[in-house]
Structure 1
Amino acid sequence: TALLVSLPEQNLAMARILLLLLSAACLHTGNSSGYRRVNDFGVNQPAVLSGVQGGSIEIPFSFYFPWELANDRSMSIAWIWKYFHGEVIYNSTQPFLHEHFKGRLIMNWTQGQTSGVLRILNLKENDQARYFSRVFLRTTEGMKSWQSIPGTQLIIHALNTTMGSPSIIPSAVPTAGLEDKRGQRNPSLLNLGVMVGMVLAKVVVIIPLYGWMIFLWWKQR
C-alpha cells in the first residue's frame, strides 16, 4: 500500500493492475479444482459429509500423479475406514468387500479414470466414521501407492420418529373418552332406584303393622 501511494498518479493504475495479475497467478498455481496441491501426487476428497439413517451417501474422490503408467491395467483403488491405517473395506484388485458393508457398497470407478464415487446404501448409525481412499499405480518407475491424509468424515443423523401422524393422534382422544364411559351408569338413574327401594321397604314394614293393629282393635270390640 505504501508503495502504491508513493508512485506518481500516471503509474498508480498500472501498478494496481500488475498487483492483481500477480495475485491471480499465485492463486492459480497453488489451487486446482478447489484443492491445494502440496506435492506432485495426491488424493482429493471432501472434508465432511452427512447422511440420514436408511438413506445413501456418495463420497467423490480424484487423484493426480506425475509418473508414466507401465501398462493398461495399472491402477487400483482401495478404501479404508475409521483410521489412516484402519481396516480395508473395499479393494478393486481382489476384489474385496468388508462384511459390514455387504450389499451396501457401490464403487463407481472405471480403470484408467482419475476420479470416481464411493456410494454407501442403507446408512447405519455405526457407519459414522472417517473414510480414506488409497491409490495404487504400476508405473515405469515401479509401484507407487498413496492415500488421502485427512480423509472424509461421515456424519450420520437419526430419523425423527417421535412425532405421530396428525390424522391419527387427535382421533384417539375422543375414542378413549367414549370407552371410559361405557361401563358407567347415569348418576340420576342410580339415585331414583335407591329412592324407590327405600319406599318399597317402608311399605313392606308398615302394611303388616297396620294390619295387626286393626286386628287387635276388631277383637276387642
Structure 2
Amino acid sequence: MALLVSLPGGILDMASVLLLLLPAACLQAGNSAGSNRVNTFGVNQPARLSGVEGGSIKIPFSFYFPWELAKDPQMRILWRRKYLYGELIYNSSSGFIHDHFKDRLILNWTQPQTSGVLRILDLNKKDQTVYFCQIYLNTKRGVQSWQSTDGTQLAITHAARTIRKSPSIITSAVTTAGLEDTEGQRNPSLVNIGATVGVVVATAVLITPVYVMLIFLWWKKR
C-alpha cells in the first residue's frame, strides 16, 4: 500500500483500476471453469456411415460424464432414429426391439463399459435414416440421461449384381457359331465317300456285261 502511495498520480490511478478489476476477472474465470466441469458429458458417434443393401453395418459409440456413479449405476443404452429424441428402436434393459428391426439388431456392450457397437443386419432401404445413442445411469446426484445431438446418418446403397448367361443359351450360341463357320463348305469325309461309291457303281456297270458274255460263251462251248 505504501508503495502505491509513493507512485506518481497517473500510475496510482491505473494500479487502483487494475486492483478493482482483478477480483471480477478471477470470479468470471472460476465460473467458466466450473461450468466446463459440470457440462463434460456427451456421446461420440460417427457422423456418417454407409452400408450395402442386404449386408450389415456397425455403429460404434462411446460416452463420458463427470458424475460419481451410484453403488448400483443401472446403466441403460437406448437407440432412437429419425430425429433428436425420436422413435425408440432399442432398449438394453428391457430387451425391446422395434418391429422393423426384429432379429436384426445386436448391441455389443456390457455394463459398466463406456463404449460399444450397435450392429444392424440384413440392411434395407428403409433403414436409411439418422441413429441416436441415448444413455441412462444412476449417479450420486440422481438419474442422469443424455444423448448424441447429431447422431449417425446411415446411407444404404444397392448391391452390385453380376449378370450370368444361362448354360443353355451359351451352348446354343456355340452351336450356332459352329454352323455359321461351316456353312457353304462340304465335309471332306462325305465327299470322299460319295466319290468312292460312284467309282464302285461305275465299275460294276462296266464289268457286269463282260462277265455275262463270258459265262454265255463258256456255256455254249460246253
TM-score class, shorter-chain normalisation, is 0.5 to 0.7
What amino acid does structure 1 have at the position aligned with 2:100? Answer: H
Q: Deviations over 1:67-112 (max 9, x none)?
A: 0111234211100011112110001122211000000000000010
- The count of aligned residue pairs is 144
**Structure-2 change in CA distance of 1:172 and 1:146 (3 Å):** farther
* Greater than 6 Å deviation, 4+ residue runs: none
The aligned runs of 1:1-221 (5 Å cut-off) are: 39-161=39-161, 163-165=162-164, 168=167, 171=170, 174=173
Query: What is the one-letter code of the residue matched to 1:94?
Result: S
Deviations 1:173-220 (A, max 9, x none): 627969xxxxxxxxxxxxxxxxxxxxxxxxxxxxxxxxxxxxxxxxxx
Report the TM-score, using the length of structure 1 for normalisation: 0.59
Cα offset for 1:39? 3.8
In structure 2, relative to structure 1, the CA distance for the partners of 1:166 and 1:90 (3 Å cut) is same
CA distance in 2, matches of 1:142, 1:66: 13
3-state SS of paired residue (1:69): coil
Distance 2:159 2:126 in 1: 14
> Deviation of residue 171 (structure 1)?
1.3
Q: Percent identity?
A: 57
3-state DSSP of counterpart to 2:126: helix
Give the AA of the match of 1:165.
Answer: R
1:89-147 alpha-carbon deviations (Å, 9 max, x no partner): 00112221100000000000001010000000111111011000000011110111000
Query: Going by fraction, where is helix more abundant, 1 or 2?
Result: 2
For 1:42 and 1:115, the matched residues in 2 are separated by 12
**Cα RMSD (Å) of the superposition?**
2.9
AA matched with 1:144:
Q
Q: Assess if the C-alpha contact under 8 Å between 2:38 and 2:66 holds in 1.
A: no
Contact 1:72 / 1:112 at 8 angstroms: preserved in 2? no
TM-score using structure 2 length: 0.58
Partner Cα distance (2:171, 2:153) in 1: 44
CA contact (8 A) 2:72 2:138 kept: no
Q: Please, which runs of 5 or more residues in structure 1 have no aligned partner?
A: 1-36, 179-221
Q: In structure 2, how many angstroms separate the alpha carbons of the residues matched to 1:105 and 1:137? A: 22
Segments of 5+ residues of structure 2 without an aligned counterpart are 1-36, 178-222
Larger Rg: 1 or 2?
2
